């Protein structure tokens, strides 16, 4: 007599066959998530909050000296700590008893869970993407999720506090610590995109050898940039037509992109989603060297054990994620928020 497949077997199958697929497909569904996960993922274990040190000033000592000249040993206060809350996401799925009867073999249940997990993958990817471009305060977290417990996303990070973005970001108040402000251009007026004002915005977020490493916008702004350089648009202007170039690694991962100053410009439909940018006018200039995708090892797409509700003939499980988007240098992040043509 065949042994019925129980919750333990279904959990083992899901974790063995489904979990790797969930992780890969969720991160590959969004270009910025893909980049952060590949190069800037940090595993943080424990802690009431996610704390990071911020170097906000230079030492006030040091310099040339001669002979027995005494050194200045005055202590330098150059570090502040930012603290970010743990943010959580979940997706549940269930298998009813009749389905278990129909797929009562390890191979069949694996195939069924693989098929069913596609919806869970898409839901988790959408939730993380909405949070990534939201504010984490309930304002501008997207039209489908305005919860203040969402990620501390780009709508809260890239700003000055007084006019746009969160005034308190990472527990540090921007109006009192202006070094924590981002390089935001064009908050209150509208503008027509040009190579000149794009360069101005790019340069505003550049500090010495540090510069934006990726540019993100919605499709409208991406198309406007493409049109600036398309053959025949400005036939009298002589420059390398950048839309002929692209970042090869992003392209090989399936992400269409153009180049600006040899930096990839990519599309994400979640840019400007929600109330913060009704005209979808945002273009983000981000330095990924100061952005971290922090996750907990206990909830990095962890599949909970399947359980049977006492009053249903079914098995229920959830996929869990916990972490946050963390920035260590707000001054190196920038954007243009007023393009309407």
Q: Which residues contact 176 (CB under 8 A, 6 or more apart)?
A: none
Which is nearest to 255 in space by CA: 243, 273, 267, 245?
267
Q: Could you tell me the end-to-end alpha-carbon distance of the chain, in angstroms, rounded to an integer?
A: 70
| Confidence at residue 174, expressed as pLDDT on a 0 to 100 scale | 87
Can you tell me the distance from the alpha carbon of 189 to that of 72, in angstroms, rounded to the nearest whole number? 48
Residue 27 has pLDDT above 70, yes or no: no
Q: Which residue has tokens 């898409």?
A: 122
Across 159-180, average pLDDT: 83
Burial of 220 (0-12, 13-18, 19+ CB in 10 A): middle
| Confidence at residue 112, expressed as pLDDT on a 0 to 100 scale | 77
Write the pLDDT tens digit of every residue in 50-63: 988 887 666 777 78
Residue 12 token pair: 């083992």
Q: What mean pLDDT value characterizes the chain?
A: 79
| Confidence at residue 327, expressed as pLDDT on a 0 to 100 scale | 92
Q: Which residue has tokens 């195939």?
A: 111
Write the pLDDT tens digit of every residue in 90-139: 988 888 888 878 877 777 777 777 777 777 777 888 888 888 888 877 65
Write the pLDDT tens digit of every residue in 271-298: 876 545 555 678 999 999 999 999 999 9
Residue 284 token pair: 């983000």
Residue 61 token pair: 């000592």
Q: What angle do CA 67, 72, 76 make, to 5 degrees?
A: 150
Q: Decide: helix, strand or coil at residue 99.
A: helix
Q: Decide: helix, strand or coil at residue 195.
A: helix
| Cβ atoms 312, 197 nearer than 8 A | no
- Higher-confidence residue of 177 and 136: namely 177
Can you tell me the distance from the alpha carbon of 60 to that of 165, in angstroms, rounded to the nearest whole number? 31
pLDDT > 70 fraction of the chain, expressed in percent and rounded: 79
User: CB 246: neighbour CB atoms within 10 A?
Assistant: 17
| Cβ atoms 96, 306 nearer than 8 A | no
Residue 322 token pair: 């916990």
Across 216-220, average pLDDT: 89
| Confidence at residue 276, expressed as pLDDT on a 0 to 100 scale | 54
Q: What angle do CA 149, 268, 24 make, to 5 degrees?
A: 75
Label residue 303 by pLDDT band (50, 70, 90). Answer: confident
């Amino acid at each position: 007599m065949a042994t019925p497949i129980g919750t333990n077997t279904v959990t083992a199958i899901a974790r063995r066959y489904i979990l790797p697929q969930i992780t890969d497909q969720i991160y590959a569904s969004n270009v910025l998530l893909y980049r952060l996960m590949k190069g800037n993922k940090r595993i943080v274990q424990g802690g009431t909050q996610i704390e990071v040190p911020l170097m906000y000033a230079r030492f006030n000592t040091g310099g040339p000296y001669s002979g027995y000249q005494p050194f200045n040993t005055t202590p330098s206060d150059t570090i502040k700590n930012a603290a970010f809350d743990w943010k959580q996401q979940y997706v549940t799925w269930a298998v009813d008893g009749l389905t278990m009867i129909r797929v009562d073999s390890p191979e069949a249940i694996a195939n069924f869970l693989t098929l069913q997990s596609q919806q869970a993958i898409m839901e988790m990817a959408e939730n993380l993407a909405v949070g990534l471009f939201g504010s984490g305060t309930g304002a501008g977290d997207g039209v489908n999720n305005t919860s203040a417990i969402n990620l501390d996303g780009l709508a809260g990070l890239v700003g000055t506090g007084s006019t746009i973005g969160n005034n308190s970001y990472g527990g540090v108040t921007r109006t009192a610590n202006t070094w924590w402000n981002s390089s935001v251009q064009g908050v209150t007026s509208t503008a027509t995109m040009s190579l000149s004002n794009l360069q101005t915005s790019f340069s505003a977020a550049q500090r010495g050898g540090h510069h934006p490493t990726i540019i993100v916008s919605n499709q409208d702004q991406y198309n406007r940039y493409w049109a600036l350089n398309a053959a025949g648009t400005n036939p009298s202007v002589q420059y390398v037509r950048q839309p002929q170039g692209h970042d090869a690694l992003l392209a090989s991962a399936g992400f269409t992109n153009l180049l600006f100053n040899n930096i990839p410009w990519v599309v994400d439909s979640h840019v400007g989603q929600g109330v913060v940018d009704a005209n979808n006018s945002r273009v983000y200039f981000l330095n990924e060297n100061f952005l971290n995708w922090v996750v907990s090892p206990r909830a990095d797409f962890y599949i909970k054990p399947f359980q049977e509700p006492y009053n249903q003939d079914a098995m229920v499980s959830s996929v869990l994620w916990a972490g946050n988007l963390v920035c260590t240098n707000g001054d190196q992040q920038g954007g243009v928020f007023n393009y309407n043509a």
